[in-house]
Structure formats: structure tokens, C-alpha cells
Structure 1
């Protein structure tokens, strides 16, 4: 087998169980693998009221050595004014560390649920977390805003649609995870590009809080004394001392790591076994049985942390071309007869949704169901769409299939303003692209077409989906049977190159139906390429399509709740004309629920998200987040220190 065919699957973490012990002066985190045969120790100082002081020796221990350590710490804390040693909590991983106006907190995963497998790798949903204040001295009065910030931070409910894996990088696509190792980094690679760091680059602001990760020369430090004894024992017995295994690992896709800000203070200092990358969005897996052969069908939706927010408060794009409501959705089919990741039979397809990349907004100060759309800033040279599309081409290749579902003709211009902006921008940008890499702009006015009684919406979407699959291909693993799967020139169908990028105004209801239509077409090609069916065609009334429709309905409902505060209003069945009247009452209730959420709770949700992602870092010398009339400058910091970029946006970047 050539080196290009070798499978590389990164080991993200081996610590699956954590016991947190406390003394008056320190926290001890004892981490172990699932079988409790390999252990690591993390010590956190509790005496400093403000700074995060921790020690990670990056050495692996066995069970006997850990028992010795715990016994020694317990014995040393039986008497004296700092007496007391007890187990505080059991956990499954560290989400990260956060500080508001006082000391640091540690956030731990205390409950998890296995919800999917990718080959031999397990994916977990966070079911519950615990946030624990680190400093032991709580006698002095707290800052009056500390508890309000804590409550605001906890409003981002980590038990709702947050996921992680110990051994599979869910921030990347399956195609990326199964690719040969090309861009690898050492274990101790630099700190993450967090939302805060990402935004601070614009002004050279490098004042982010860091932890102090160094050893203390403390004669009474039991931990250090025990380590010296362990080393002396190894020297006497002649056993080789344990050394840090540097190894290699991939860098995650930071735009999908929602705890990047929570890891930023410690990421460069901790052994990777402690690090978990948390993804926000939606993951579901179901079983299919096709002619007696078991198949896993998996949907993974990764929500971007760039320009993230609620439905009306985040529209369009920021100055980097990051769009609101960006979600990458991956559809994976796995022949479950083979559980191996390396030699398993997989097929995957990626599509995304995101707001129209332009400077536009809606005025939510007036309580109306459809606030007026306004184009806030002229962009005659399509700089923002150019940055956005350039980013997509870097990540996914070409062609980019831009599927716009917004209205085109209206008596009074509303949605059509957006169609005009993006169609003109793509037409302008395509002048500077070679024809084979040109952005393909596809427009479908779903709302107008759905007014007819013949239900032609899905037929039209199916035709678009077929064009998408032919142009981009799909991923097939090396072990997959492939005779006609994928487009010519895509390594016999093994790679997807390019992307279908779908949007309506909200990127919720119409978008979800279009993504289902693409997913249905792709599923037929996936099952055909894997040898399950003879032709790449599946009917709407088949069991597998009904299952897929249910998965995309759940996918759409979950994302709609995250962005809009309610489930889908117009569902797939609405456009299929299978149950329009039965769903009409439900549509009205969901519209009212979404309207209430947008009017009364979105501002608080947005503040919580800005705090969680580190876009706003509390400072006692500055006003609190709730006193700011808008978060515009948090998401558009260049507006305050903007230096014009004189480079022509139509020049290619190397």
C-alpha cells in the first residue's frame, strides 16, 4: 500500500474518567483511561484569588502509583489548619476554565451519553456539567456583578446539543480525518485561535488572561515529594523513567470548537490527553436495514463560533467574510458489518448553510413579524462575498454551488434586496475566476413555487441536487466498493471537491428542506457506491427516505431552536404537500413562539453567547456587558480601528 493510501486517525484524548479531590490549598485532578490502567495528574493551586496556577507534569502513572499519591496526600492533610482531603466530584472530561471578575472556575463534564459511532470511535453528547469555583478563600465580598456574569454564562446550556469524542476529531469532516497526514502539529502546539484572540488580532490587543503553569519550590508540597521518591525508586530498580510521549496530532478546525475560549488559558500547557474539543450543533445516528445488511446513517451538524448569534441580531457577515448562521452538515453512510475505522466502508457528503455574505440587517426595535431588511454598507467590489467564497474554496475546493432560496420578485422589495446583492456580487467575482472554478449561482424562489398546488418544489430541488452531486462528487473510503460512484476526475469517487452552500433569509425552514432534498439524492448515490442498491435512485415513499426525512426534520428543529427560539415553521411535509392542513395550526404556534423569542429573549441569549465565546471579557474598569446598547463592535472590531486594505480583492492569494 502506498503512503498516500495510509489512514491516519488522530488520537484526541485518552482520559475518559476524572476524579477531582480537594484540599484547602489545592485541587488534584486524577485522570484515567476507560479501563483505569493509565493515569495522569493535574494539580491546581487554590490560594491565589485571581490567577490560574496549575501543574501538569505530563507523566503517565499506573494504578499503584496513583494510590500511593492519594494516600500520601490524605495522610499529609489529616491535621493542621489546612486539614481535610476529600473527593469532590467524578467527571468524564474538562470543558475548560473561565474567569469573570474574581477567580477562575473549572467546568467539568459530569454526565455523558453515547449517541453515535464512527467505525470504532464513539461520539458523546454532554448531558450535564459542573462549574466549580477554584479559589478556596471566599471570605472577602465578591464583586457585585460576579454572580450575574456566572448566571449569564450558564445560560449557554452545555447539556443541550454539545458533543465531543475522545478519539475522533468531530471538528473535521470524515474526508479530512481519513486523509493521509499532511499538516500535522506536535502535541504542544500553540494556543487556539479563540473568538477573543481572533478578534483581538485586529488591533494588536494581546492582553488575554493566561494561566501560570510552573512548579513551586514548596518544601511541604506532597505532590513534589512523592514524585522525587518515585524517581529515586526508578533509579534504584533500574527501570527506565517515563518520558513525555510527544507524538503527533492534527489541529482541530477552530471555527467549530465552542470551548476554544475556555481552553485558551491552558491549551499550550496541558498534555493533550486532558483536552476535549466541544462541538455545538446536532448529531444523530440511525440504523438502516437494506436487504438484510445493516447500515449506519449519521448526520453531523457543526455550528460555527464565528459571527455566532441569534436569528435577527446576527445577519449577513463580518469584515472577515464569516457569515451568521453558518452550519456545516455532514451525511455519513457506514456499512456497520465492519466496525474498523481504518478498513471500514464509509461514504460522506458535506453541505453548509449560512447567511447571505453582505452587510445587511433587520431593525428589531419595532415589534413587527417581518422587520424591514436594510443593506447597511455598499460593497461595490464584492469584498465581503469575495472573502467568504475564498474561505470556502480554501476549505472545500471548487466548485462552490451557491443555492439561493430567497424571493426574487416582490411588489415591495424585501427579500429580493438580498437576491440582487448576492447575484450581482457573484457575477462580478466570476469575472476573475477561471471558468472551471467559477461559483455556480442557483436561484429558486421556494415561497412562490410552493403556492402552486402541484408540489413541484421537491422536483425542482431534486434536479438541483443531482447537479450538485455530479459537480462535487462525494467521499468514499479506500475500503468502499466503488464502480460508478462520484464524478469523473474525483479519484474514482473517493473525494468530494467543492460544496453546496444553501441559504434563505433565516437559513432555517426553506434551507432545511433544500438540504434534505440534496441529502436524499446523495443517499441514493452513497448506497449505490457502497454496493447496497443497483441504481442510484430511491423513492420518496421508501423506508430509508422516510428515515432520512425524520433525521433532517430533527436537524432543522434543533438548529431553529438554537437560532430562532422555536422549531421549524415550514417543514419538509409543507413543501411535499403531504400534510399542509394538519401542520397549519402547528405553523402558527411556532411562528408565535419564534416571534416571542426574537422580541423578548434574543438580546440576553446574544450576551450569553458573546461571554461564552470570549468576544466580551469582563473587566471591572469597563462597563458590564448588559450596559452596552449593541454588540456591534464586539463582532466588527475593525470598525473602531479599521485600516483600509489596499490590496485588490480580485487578486488571487497564495
Structure 2
């Protein structure tokens, strides 16, 4: 039976010149309510109307079936309605359908931009492109009946009957709702809230598995935080509130029902891990170098940064916490990793333990078996922390995860995903034994080839999706995650991804950071106070643009001298000029990269 707090499953969107009408439908297309939402395209007002009192003028309207509303955003020309045109079913968890958004539409309230100046129209077009860019990134998920933003353990521990009666947008964890700002127009009443669909960014994968005759579902949910959200080099470290960049909560869920369907035999288990940027105040701005040097300001209180972050983690999750640090103990990563170890020792928090593991040194020469060293270091906590368990038909039959692993490398992508998958597999083995699916607590799951293939590819897909959202490419080292060893094709793919990351991080990510800030509401458009400078081209009328043009021109002259004049002196001259321009560009690299323009960190 539906509740007044439920979100409608589908809509028919009727568009008229002055009004939008959103008529609730179920997933089969049947009208789901005797009321509908009316949006005034001129004033922006939203109202609930009763269809018997004010029938929708369907004959005069353009009609479009949609899956849901992402929200409303104000750009220079006015408001835009963002709707979900298409979504694909990922699978079901606890009988609830989970969807991945595959196509959206951004519809202006105003039919024309003729009321804008040329400059305003230029900005409006670019802001609109930014919203399209964020939505095209992919990895946006929702469910109209399942709370994707909270872990099963949190819902079991904290979800009171009163909480469950709240509208879904109010129940959802604000840390992981990427359209909360966009849904503001629908938050003033319970009826309006039924149109507000909380959307999560990250990854959801659901697979059906069989082990020795027992069938179960394996799901992976990675929830990307809205706090300090952004791209690889422009979001590092923590903010003053303790939120770390690229923070992702990953929950691995197992759903199992013993044959016969007897009461008390259906169960859910889960295991939660976190990843997030090194919890200090630090930065690593792109500057055309292959790997920019991480920096920390001497005046920053690094102990405060660490303590704020870990106390926030403890407040949210409770229990014990193990910080698994995978950065190099030599080279450019040493200073940041060493400072983290120092402040952890000084803080001496009773709920936190530090484990340092130089991933690259330990597995050099493709010696991946040495990951077992780290596994052995963490084995006691894996047992002590346990996992969440709940018997669906008997809620009192429950056990909780008592501690959590927080893993980081520099990006919290490639090395981190390998280690998180390793820990998840160890926990899963304990869960499978607890549920009676396997009868040997020490069974190596890799010997179950079909299941192992599903598990590894699920985690590799998770790594790829999280990496695309932060770094712009799929993850590195996914050949090991997928098949358990390094391959030549994997090494080539890593090389391609590394080069692609370099170009995107230096020449596209400033724009992408601006797009994320605009989407999340960290930057709000004021038509009367537009940014002074918003160009993304390097061909500007300053030293930066001059150097680029000079480098291109001198390159052309070198080629002409070689092909036409055969003048050695002229060729050497233009080659020296070209090298001089390149040297100038390299030394002043920060001036040539694409930087955020809307909101400074």
C-alpha cells in the first residue's frame, strides 16, 4: 500500500507556454493520484491541484512521459526544469527497484532568451552546458522505495517509526543527495515532497550469484559525498568542517533466502568501507607537470584537520576506525603521508588505528601476492569488526558491524579500490560462512571461478565509475581487480588512461569543477553579478596566449625551414625560439592550465 510519503514512480509532463503540469503515474502508465503539480513558467510558483476541480488541458499541451524530476535550477535567463527522460533498471534490493539515470532533459521556463544581453546569453549558454556536462558524467541512481543514501546498518539502528513517515527527500542522508539543492522548490509540504526524488551519485551494481547450489544477490553501493565534491587536483584534503575530498562510502550487500522460503530464513548482510582524501589541509594544483608536487601551508593546523575529520567519522559511524594509508614512503608522496602518520601519533585517538602500507614498493615488479602482508596486518580487525546482519522476517535477529576501514592513497582511486576489494572479499567469506552458504570459514573464494569472476568484475566496475567521476578516466590496475593479475593489455590501458588523465586534469578540469559547484549550488547564478572572466581558451590577449601562439608559430617555422628553405641557421634559430617558449610555458605551468572560475576553494 502506498504512503503519503512515497515518491511517485513516473509522470506525464504536459507543457504549455505558461505552465508545466506533472501528472503522477505508476510504472505501468496508470494515473496514480487525483492531484497533480502545476508550475507557473512565468512566476516559478508551484502548486498542487485537484484534477477534478482543475482538469489538465491535455489537448493543448505537448506531452512527454518522464521517470522523475531532478529539480529546478536558476540560470541567467531564468529557471530550468531538469527531468529524467530515461532510466534503466539496475536490479532489486529487498524487493525495491534501483534505477540508473541514462538520459535527462533540461527545459527552460522561458521560451526565448531574447530578453538577455549578448553577454548574458553567452553566460547562460555556458552554464547550461555545465549542467549537461555533470548529468552526462553518469553514475546517478535512485529508487522510489529504497533509501539508497543510508546503509542498512544505519536504517536498522536509527530509523524510528516517525522517521519512516517523513518524505523520502527528508529521510535521505543529505551527505549523499546530489539534487537536494535542486529540489528546494518541492520541500515546503508533504504533497510537494512526493515529487522530490533523492538522487545519489556514485555506483550501484547488483549481481545474481550461485555458490554450490545456494542462490543469492550481491550488491555494491558507492555513495559519493556532496561535501568537498569535485575533480582530482582541485579537491584535495579536508575542509574546516572535517569533510574530505572524494569521500565515498561503499556498502557491499548480500541478500539471501534459504530454499523453501520458511519464515526467518531471508536475510541481509552488509559490510561498509570508506575512502577519502588524506585528512589534512593540503593541495596539489595542476601545473603541466606529470605529477604536481603536493603542498601544505606551514600555518595550517594539520592536527586540527585530522582530529576534526576523524571525530566527524566517529560521530557518523561510531565504533573503531582503521586508517589504511597506501601512499609511497619516498618521493613526492612522502611528505603528506609522513605528516599524516605524525598527527595520528600526536592525536592518539582511542577509536582510531593507523596502518601504513607502501603499496607501490610492496607490489613492485608485479609482485601482487605481497598484498597478503596487508591482509594479515588487518586480519584481527576484520574479525573483530564483523558485519551487519538482519533477518528480514525477524528484525530482532540482528548483529552490527563494530568498526570500519578508511582507505586512502593520493587519489583514493586505483590502489584504494584494489585494497577495498580485498577487504570486501575477506568479509564476504565470513558472511557466506555465517549464512551457511559455504561450510569452510577458510575457503579461498577464488577457487569458485564463476563467483570469483562476478565479484572481481563488480568491484572493477565500481573502481572505473568512481575514477571517471573524480579523475575523468576509468581506474588503473583494473586488470588485477578483474582477473587477479597484471596483463600487457592492462598495462597499455593504464598508460592510455594515465595520459588521458594528464590532459583532462590540466586542460578540462577547471571547467568540470565549476560545473559541479554550479550543479550542487555551491555557486549560485546572479544575472546582475556575473563573473568578470569565464573564458576557457588559452588563446588570450596576454602573456599566456602569446606564449601558446608563439610556440605554435615557431613550430610551423621549423617545419617550413626543414621542408622548403633547407636553411640550417634559420632552422636552429626557430628551434631555439620554440624551446624558449616551451621552457616559459613549463616554468609558468599554473598559468596555462584550465582553472575553476566560479568558486575558489
Per the alignment, in what secondary structure is the counterpart of residue 469 of structure 1?
A: helix
Bigger Cα displacement from structure 2, 336-345 vs 568-577: 336-345
Per the alignment, in what secondary structure is the counterpart of residue 401 of structure 2?
A: coil
Query: Residues 175-198 of structure 1, C-alpha deviation per residue, up to 9 Å, x if partnerless?
Result: 223346338459678xxxxxxxxx
Partner of 1:609: 516
Partner of 2:82: 107
Verify the 8 A CA contact 1:29 1:43 in the aligned structure 2: yes
Aligned-partner Cα distance in 1 for 2:10–2:134 = 24
From 266, 269, 272, give the equivalent of 1:347.
269
Partner of 1:515: 420
Q: Does 1:292 align with 2:197?
A: no
Structure 1 residues 475-486: aligned runs within 5 Å: 475-479=388-392
Verify the 8 A CA contact 2:362 2:371 in the aligned structure 1: no
Using a 3 Å threshold, how does the CA distance of structure 1 residues 566 and 47 change in structure 2: closer, same or farther? closer
Partner of 2:227: 306
C-alpha RMSD over aligned residues: 3.1
Q: Does 1:30 align with 2:23?
A: yes
Tell me how many residue pairs correspond in the alignment.
Answer: 533
Q: Does 1:265 align with 2:257?
A: no
Give, in angstroms, the shift of residue 260 of structure 1: 1.2
Query: Residues 26-79 of structure 1, C-alpha deviation per residue, up to 9 Å, x if partnerless?
Result: 22111123352531311111233xxx211125x7x7xxx49x823xx35xxxxx
Using a 3 Å threshold, how does the CA distance of structure 1 residues 109 and 635 change in structure 2: closer, same or farther? same
Partner of 2:36: 41
Aligned-partner Cα distance in 1 for 2:262–2:512 = 41
Per the alignment, in what secondary structure is the counterpart of residue 148 of structure 1?
A: helix
Aligned-partner Cα distance in 2 for 1:342–1:625 = 64
From 364, 371, 375, give the equivalent of 1:451.
364
Using a 3 Å threshold, how does the CA distance of structure 1 residues 452 and 585 change in structure 2: closer, same or farther? closer
Query: Residues 1-37 of structure 1, C-alpha deviation per residue, up to 9 Å, x if partnerless?
Result: xxxxxxxx99863411211123333221111233525
Partner of 1:417: 335
Aligned-partner Cα distance in 2 for 1:575–1:41 = 47
Verify the 8 A CA contact 1:11 1:167 in the aligned structure 2: no
Verify the 8 A CA contact 2:169 2:180 in the aligned structure 1: no
Partner of 1:428: 346
Partner of 1:363: 285
Using a 3 Å threshold, how does the CA distance of structure 1 residues 574 and 168 change in structure 2: closer, same or farther? closer
Partner of 1:4: none
Aligned-partner Cα distance in 2 for 1:529–1:468 = 17
Partner of 1:197: none
Aligned-partner Cα distance in 2 for 1:340–1:95 = 40
Q: Does 1:146 align with 2:124?
A: yes
Give, in angstroms, the shift of residue 103 of structure 1: 1.6
Partner of 2:159: 181
Verify the 8 A CA contact 1:549 1:572 in the aligned structure 2: no
Aligned-partner Cα distance in 2 for 1:395–1:16 = 31
Aligned-partner Cα distance in 1 for 2:249–2:166 = 28
Normalization by structure 1: what TM-score? 0.75
Partner of 2:70: 95
Give, in angstroms, the shift of residue 118 of structure 1: 0.9
Give, in angstroms, the shift of residue 289 of structure 1: 0.7
From 326, 343, 354, give the equivalent of 1:441.
354
Partner of 2:480: 573
Aligned-partner Cα distance in 2 for 1:574–1:23 = 51
Identify, as 1 or 2, the structure richer in helix. Answer: 2
Normalization by structure 2: what TM-score? 0.81
Query: Residues 566-601 of structure 1, C-alpha deviation per residue, up to 9 Å, x if partnerless?
Result: 222223628987334442222211211111111211
Give, in angstroms, the shift of residue 160 of structure 1: 1.3
Per the alignment, in what secondary structure is the counterpart of residue 424 of structure 1?
A: helix
From 147, 152, 159, give the equivalent of 1:169.
147
Verify the 8 A CA contact 2:321 2:403 in the aligned structure 1: yes
Structure 1 gaps of 5+ residues are 1-8, 75-83, 190-247, 483-490, 637-654
From 535, 538, 542, give the equivalent of 2:448.
542
Partner of 2:579: none
Verify the 8 A CA contact 2:321 2:406 in the aligned structure 1: yes
Query: Residues 510-561 of structure 1, C-alpha deviation per residue, up to 9 Å, x if partnerless?
Result: 1010001101101101111111011333422422233211111111111111
Using a 3 Å threshold, how does the CA distance of structure 1 residues 342 and 122 change in structure 2: closer, same or farther? farther
Structure 1 residues 188-587: aligned runs within 5 Å: 251-269=171-189, 270-335=191-256, 344-365=266-287, 367-380=288-301, 382-408=303-329, 410=330, 413-430=331-348, 433=349, 437-451=350-364, 454-479=367-392, 494-539=399-444, 540-543=446-449, 544-571=451-478, 573=480, 578-587=485-494
From 483, 492, 502, give the equivalent of 1:595.
502
Verify the 8 A CA contact 2:86 2:104 in the aligned structure 1: yes
Give, in angstroms, the shift of residue 93 of structure 1: 0.8
Give, in angstroms, the shift of residue 462 of structure 1: 2.5
Structure 2 gaps of 5+ residues are 536-593
Verify the 8 A CA contact 1:279 1:303 in the aligned structure 2: yes
Partner of 2:572: none
Query: Residues 463-498 of structure 1, C-alpha deviation per residue, up to 9 Å, x if partnerless?
Result: 24533322322100134999xxxxxxxx98711122
Using a 3 Å threshold, how does the CA distance of structure 1 residues 574 and 159 change in structure 2: closer, same or farther? closer
Partner of 1:20: 13
Aligned-partner Cα distance in 1 for 2:263–2:494 = 42
Verify the 8 A CA contact 1:96 1:263 in the aligned structure 2: yes
Using a 3 Å threshold, how does the CA distance of structure 1 residues 268 and 465 change in structure 2: closer, same or farther? farther
Aligned-partner Cα distance in 2 for 1:375–1:494 = 42
Partner of 2:134: 156
Partner of 1:210: none
Using a 3 Å threshold, how does the CA distance of structure 1 residues 27 and 292 change in structure 2: closer, same or farther? same
Bigger Cα displacement from structure 2, 440-449 vs 491-500: 491-500
Partner of 1:233: none
Verify the 8 A CA contact 1:401 1:500 in the aligned structure 2: yes
Using a 3 Å threshold, how does the CA distance of structure 1 residues 110 and 500 change in structure 2: closer, same or farther? same
Aligned-partner Cα distance in 1 for 2:334–2:99 = 42
Partner of 2:48: 56
Aligned-partner Cα distance in 1 for 2:388–2:197 = 26
Aligned-partner Cα distance in 1 for 2:3–2:456 = 32
Aligned-partner Cα distance in 2 for 1:272–1:119 = 24
